[in-house]
Amino acid sequence: MKLSVLVVSVVLAAGFVVTQQPTTVGPHEAIVKEMLATIDDINKILKTIQDSDTATVARPELKKNGDKMVELQKQATEGMQPTKDEKDRLAKEYAPKMDAAFKKFNEESIRVKAIAGGKEALAELPLFLDKEDKAKIKKDGK
């Protein structure tokens, strides 16, 4: 998936979520913040991957965070849509942060792919895989 498309879809999809618990920020903003924090966590984990052993060690945490992003995306798309003003405000405030986080992710994922075991570690992040990688994983049964 192209980075810019993913960033826009994450920010806009987050605008659809409605949570049951009151927060100091609006429910739409809370999901955007949680997505951003999860992407930052993924980037930190990817930075630890230096070889096959560290790729293997990182896989459970990547899976946990990958599953969390899938769940957040699901919550965002199943919730109520925010107002246009709220969407615009969230996009203005968080799109640059998401862009930066996804830029780091893109850089790290390229680096990690070149490491033994790196592709398998990245496979734990299904939301971030491109169509080619998803097809290969499906074909290989991994």
Per DSSP, 92 falls in state: H
Question: By C-alpha distance, which of 108, 69, 84 is closest to 15?
Answer: 84
% of the chain at pLDDT higher than 70? 73
pLDDT at 1: 47
Q: Name the residue ranges covered by the structural domains of the chain.
A: 3-14+25-140
Give the type of residue at 15: G
Tens of pLDDT, residue by residue over 113-138, are 999 999 999 999 988 766 566 555 55
- Write down the mean pLDDT value for the chain: 82
Is the pLDDT assigned to residue 16 strictly greater than 90? no
Tens of pLDDT, residue by residue over 90-116, are 999 999 999 999 999 999 999 999 999
